[in-house]
Structure 1
Amino acid sequence: MPPTSNDAFSFDGDWSGQLVATAIHTGHDLREETASHMVLDEATRLREEDPFTDAIGAACPARLVVHRSRFEVDLNRAREEAVYRRPEDAWDLGVWRETPLPDDVTERSLAIHDAFYAELGERLDRVAERGPFVLYDVHSYNHRRDGADEPEAPGEDNPEVNVGTGSLDRDRWGDVVDTFMTTLGGTQTAGGEIDVRENVRFKGAHLCAWVHGRYPDHGIALALEFKKTYMDEWTGQPDRARIAALAQALGETVDPVLRALGSSSAR
């Protein structure tokens, strides 16, 4: 797939409410100059991105979708770590033709990081002026890393949805978290109830910590890692029916979560 000139990220939906969904690793685009320095093959890059997480969050009222690949700039890392410089920064993958990447290329990628957090901050400042809010930080993770023909990772250590709350004040907002998990986990799909557990594989990263740091009295960010049972992580082929079912299930959590948010805020 050739690199494109799409905007790095876009806002969509109705931002007049108190719940937002982000898909910050769903992007696959690269700037022309970034692509010219990259040696990582496209299939491997796609496997480490979070395809279709924008579709999983599509039923949420307000949405922010990132179109650039995390291999250009990783918006779930702090600025100083947002451009992968060495293989150990990127799961020991060789990303660049030359190391380090030229400073001017790196700085133009970091400018996207700056713009993303500046523009998201402006939006969320207005949301926070109305009261507490919830942000669904939608991601995905691989569970067949041993190979396309190898068994998947054991289910006991790999829930279908991992809810990361590592930087969240659970004493204050625990009812919101519990409502989310109970509602999503109680959803009946063609594959049965959705297996939802907390902090089993992931506890959340920079975006959630940034929300909780900027809005300590108002922001509730849940890092949602969907296991890639909704696609073939080796070929990239999606299961459209499963994606639609997960999107509907996530959308159905919105009203219960906002009610729990209102009750928690009133205490």
Structure 2
Amino acid sequence: MDDDDTLTTAHGSGNPDLLTVVGPWDGQIIFTAVHAGHDLRPEVRDLMVLDEATRYREEDPHSDRIGSGLDSGMVMHRSRFETDLNRARDTAVYLDPEDSWGLDVWRDGQLPDDVAERSRRVHDAWYEELAHRIAPMAARGPFVVYDLHSYNHRRDGPDAGPAPQDGNPDVNVGTGSLDREPWSPVVDAFTESMSTEVIPATGRRLDVRENVRFWGQNEGRWAHRLFPDTACVLALEFKKTFMDEWTGEVDEEHLAQLADALARTVPAVTAALREVEVPTP
């Protein structure tokens, strides 16, 4: 795709370089990986001064692979430094260091307006495609989105120890934009199921807690606003225990075990969905 081309989504003429749609979408549980991507448009890459290692560390690499045991999902291939899908459209493009954790991203400290607007079209394309895919699910009844992310826990440097477990669960379940009461059976079923999982790579059960580090952001707010009676988005932040966040080296066995653990939550969450009462029009 040329930088000036209009973005098209997968259900239209398609753009496989932009995003991938996985599976049949005929059930009521899907995953999304909005920050798994590392790609950049050429014009964005040419203007970026942020080094690749730092960019990679602040992305959510392999979050799509954590969802690989689910039947259906959607994966974004573009970096959050091109457009951050988990922010609202008007703030989705990092323009100043304060937008991006104090990092200097752009040559000369700024991004041209026309380039920024083309990046916002990536944001538009994702949500257009997601709405197209989710609408039939909403028509069938309550549904759940596993909004998959990962987070750093060794911020003090490559030789520093990990952040305390107390404030850094293995899996943070973000429900900040969810009307918690009607969805309690679903949230509880997920948390209980995931918490029973023993990850052989660590030799202990997963520490799964709600709204400790993260509460969920734009995708959850968007879905809960668009489908207020049927959507339940769980923003799932996996601590990067499955990789070295400084070198990028992946523990493949640990990553596969997390994917298996997530997939095994589906029966319990599916059963809990049957308890959710949808208001009659």
Same fold flag (TM > 0.5): yes
Equivalent of 1:230, from 242, 248, 266?
Answer: 242
1:133-173, Cα deviation, whole Å (9 max, x unpaired)? 00000000000000000111000010000000001111110
Alpha-carbon distance, 1:122 to partner: 1.0
1:166-185, Cα deviation, whole Å (9 max, x unpaired)? 01111110110000000000
C-alpha separation in 1, matches of 2:197 and 2:56: 29
Q: 1:100 is matched with which residue?
A: 110
Alpha-carbon distance, 1:100 to partner: 2.7
Query: In the alignment, residue 82 of structure 2 is paired with which amino acid?
Result: E
Check conservation: 1:53, 1:140, Cα contact below 8 A. Answer: yes
Note the 1:14-163 alignment, pairs <5 A. Answer: 14-163=24-173
Query: In the alignment, residue 85 of structure 2 is paired with which amino acid?
Result: L
Equivalent of 1:211, from 223, 230, 237?
Answer: 223
SS state of the match for residue 173, structure 2? strand
TM-score, reference length from structure 1 = 0.96
Equivalent of 2:189, from 179, 192, 195?
Answer: 179
Alpha-carbon distance, 1:6 to partner: 5.8
SS state of the match for residue 264, structure 1? coil
Query: In the alignment, residue 213 of structure 2 is paired with which amino acid?
Result: R
Q: Give the gaps of 5 or more residues in structure 2.
A: 1-14
Alpha-carbon distance, 1:265 to partner: 3.2
Q: Percent identity?
A: 55
C-alpha separation in 2, matches of 1:210 and 1:125: 13
C-alpha separation in 2, matches of 1:55 and 1:110: 26
Alpha-carbon distance, 1:14 to partner: 2.2
Q: Give the gaps of 5 or more residues in structure 1.
A: none
TM-score, reference length from structure 2 = 0.92
C-alpha separation in 2, matches of 1:131 and 1:90: 38
Q: How many residues align?
A: 263
C-alpha separation in 1, matches of 2:175 and 2:21: 24
Note the 1:2-21 alignment, pairs <5 A. Answer: 7-21=17-31
Check conservation: 1:6, 1:29, Cα contact below 8 A. Answer: no
SS state of the match for residue 275, structure 2? helix
Alpha-carbon distance, 1:255 to partner: 1.3
Alpha-carbon distance, 1:8 to partner: 1.4
